[in-house]
Structure 1
Amino acid sequence: MTAGGPDRPGGVFSRSFGHGPRNVLAVHCSLAHSGAWRRLAGEMAEDITLTAFDMLSHGRSPDWDGTGNYQLLNADAGLALLDRPADLIGHSFGATVALRMAMARPHLVRSLTLIEPVLFAVAKSDAPAAFAALEAASRPIEAAWAAADLALTARLFNRMWGAGEPKWPDMPEQARAAMVRAIPVVPACYPTLYDDANGTLAPGALDPVAMPVLLLHGSESPAVIGAIVSGFSRRLANARALSVPGAGHMLPVTHAAETAQLLRGFWGPA
């Protein structure tokens, strides 16, 4: 593994895993960090060299100062690491960042893999019932945030979207503190994710995303994710969607071997 400090392009920390011929850039989910790709990269160490960066307010990257658009700032940071064409992977919020990267620089993206993308505006438009269920499930998180209880907000968010293990009290204090540090960016991104404030779904906006796209979701994920995947399948010209049996939202971590197998089939030979 190799790593670069926060003086790297875009001011973010990045690291690389593996030593294979295929160049891959990966964007992690909210409240995680670049190390979340370690298991998947380990499954494919002979096939790929995977570079991952810590989004702002995550891992070893600087804190976001609240100015500018968080999604687009991270997309710019990721693009600064792309000096040649790569296969791009994003998970959850990181998938929305990866999508914006592909929209901005399609000539640098050989293929795009969106794992459990959380652009909820897709479901808001296409699947009102699934969107309403998401809103209902999120109410305890919203109440904790309104009460300015950052630790409870992070705990409830992790319970809803995390792998389920370890439980919050069993996590190392450092891991809990990292999630509390990152949690303010989640509500800050609601206009982007719920209302499509960045215009990802605007007419013609997705036209540059003509490269092959793989949409992955877990069979046990909330229904809203399946609705989003279906919506993107209809909106992207060259997309295919696959479900990982028995997996939830954290499938790149919990089902790394299955994810690796699907990626090999999608990419084909290096």
Structure 2
Amino acid sequence: MITVSLVALSGLSLGACVSSMAYTSKVEAAYPPDGQQVAVNGHSVHVMTRGPEAAPVVLMIHGASANAREFTWTLAPRLEMDLRVLMVDRPGHGYSERFGGADTLAAQAAQMAGALELLAPGRKATVVGHSFGGAVALRLALDRPDLVSSLVLLAPVTHDWGDAEGGTAWYNSFAANPVFGPFFSQLAPIAGPAQMKNGISGVFAPAPTPPDYFENSGIGLFLRPPNFRANAQDMTQLKQELAEQSRRYGELAVPITVFSGSKDTVVSPKLHTARLKKQVPIELVILPDEGHMPHHGEGSAVAGAIRRLAFGRQTR
């Protein structure tokens, strides 16, 4: 009986691996790297660039379950005529290399800093962060204030959520597990695509989901097993990381604009943005009809805020 079970399990594992390899090959052919690979702290970082090289710099950091393509068709087209836009894949996402310790906000911010130093040497940037990317943007401003002139945070996760419900999806704890996580992650390409497409509307609600969002943002890259596992590790570490990082927010000394959808059910404005506002002065833009993706439905307003800060025009 044990032998039969082991054989069955081995067959299931092999089948999942073959399926995930086929999926990875197909999705990477559909969404190949669209930028350049730069070496930062001994690890490869994928950066997409747009706009005049000598223009003011904007660095964009994507959220969880995503990659830098998120910005290529939303914000970059609104900014690239007169701003230098750098869109960076976080470690283990898109086409940036994953490494030991990359699940810490400090390590991810260090990779963003290195990319900025290489591609815009001697210059400060307006740093834009969406969701998880907001936490990385804040850490970058804390650890490397010499590189950051201002922050624009989009539905940011900023604090630990205590005993409140939500925070991370159930599958993250399985995928991040050091023992069976690698196998569990092989299942992502099998069940993941349909589940993700069905769940996207909840991320945008009550705003409508843009047509072809899944395809335009290359979300399929997330379901490659190593990417899926890297995301799970990020998410399971995040609560503790934010508990420590949030104690430092009083150090922030740059202009900060925050866009918050009042109906965001992914990252609670009450648990995050409202608490940040108590610690540091921010320009808060509340969007009554938006959820977790304000840079889509309110892209013009977000781009306007980025441009204003990038060119040094402040409202306070």
Deviation at 1:18, TM superposition (A): 2.2
For the Cα contact (< 8 Å) 2:66–2:219, is it kept in 1?
Answer: no
Matches within 5 A, 1:1-270: 3-7=35-39, 11-19=44-52, 21-38=55-72, 39-62=74-97, 64-82=98-116, 83=121, 84-121=123-160, 123-124=161-162, 131-132=164-165, 134=166, 141=171, 148=184, 149-151=187-189, 152=191, 159=199, 162-163=203-204, 164=209, 175-181=219-225, 182-196=227-241, 199-202=244-247, 205-222=248-265, 224-227=267-270, 228-236=272-280, 238-265=281-308
Q: Give the alignment's TM-score, normalised by structure 2.
A: 0.67
For the Cα contact (< 8 Å) 1:141–1:157, is it kept in 2?
Answer: no
Cα RMSD for the two superposed structures: 3.4
SS at match of 1:5: strand
Q: Are the structure 2 counterparts of residues 206 and 269 from structure 1 closer, same or farther at C-alpha, using a change threshold of 3 Å?
A: closer
Q: Which runs of 5+ in 1 are unaligned?
A: none
Question: How far apart, in 2, do the equivalents of 1:235 and 1:60 lie?
Answer: 35
Q: Are the structure 2 counterparts of residues 167 and 48 from structure 1 closer, same or farther at C-alpha, using a change threshold of 3 Å?
A: closer
For the Cα contact (< 8 Å) 1:116–1:218, is it kept in 2?
Answer: yes
Higher Cα Rg: structure 1 or 2?
A: 2
For the Cα contact (< 8 Å) 1:119–1:194, is it kept in 2?
Answer: no
Deviation at 1:217, TM superposition (A): 1.6
Q: Give the alignment's TM-score, normalised by structure 1.
A: 0.77
Deviations along 1:3-61, whole A, 9 cap, x unmatched?
Answer: 32244675201121123832111111122222221221211223321111111222222
Question: How far apart, in 2, do the equivalents of 1:98 and 1:76 lie?
Answer: 11
Deviations along 1:101-137, whole A, 9 cap, x unmatched?
Answer: 100011221111121112450x43xxx6xx32x25xx
Q: Are the structure 2 counterparts of residues 250 and 58 from structure 1 closer, same or farther at C-alpha, using a change threshold of 3 Å?
A: same
- The one-letter code matched in structure 2 to 1:14 is V
For the Cα contact (< 8 Å) 1:86–1:111, is it kept in 2?
Answer: yes
Q: Are the structure 2 counterparts of residues 197 and 259 from structure 1 closer, same or farther at C-alpha, using a change threshold of 3 Å?
A: closer
For the Cα contact (< 8 Å) 2:92–2:231, is it kept in 1?
Answer: no
- The one-letter code matched in structure 2 to 1:212 is P
Number of aligned residues: 254
- The one-letter code matched in structure 1 to 2:58 is V
Question: How far apart, in 1, do the equivalents of 2:40 and 2:153 lie?
Answer: 25
Q: Which runs of 5+ in 2 are unaligned?
A: 1-33
SS at match of 1:248: coil
Of the structure 1 ranges 191-200 and 93-102, higher mean CA displacement relative to structure 2 is found in: 191-200
Q: Percent identity?
A: 20
Q: Are the structure 2 counterparts of residues 200 and 42 from structure 1 closer, same or farther at C-alpha, using a change threshold of 3 Å?
A: same
For the Cα contact (< 8 Å) 2:152–2:257, is it kept in 1?
Answer: yes
Deviation at 1:156, TM superposition (A): 5.0
SS at match of 1:207: helix
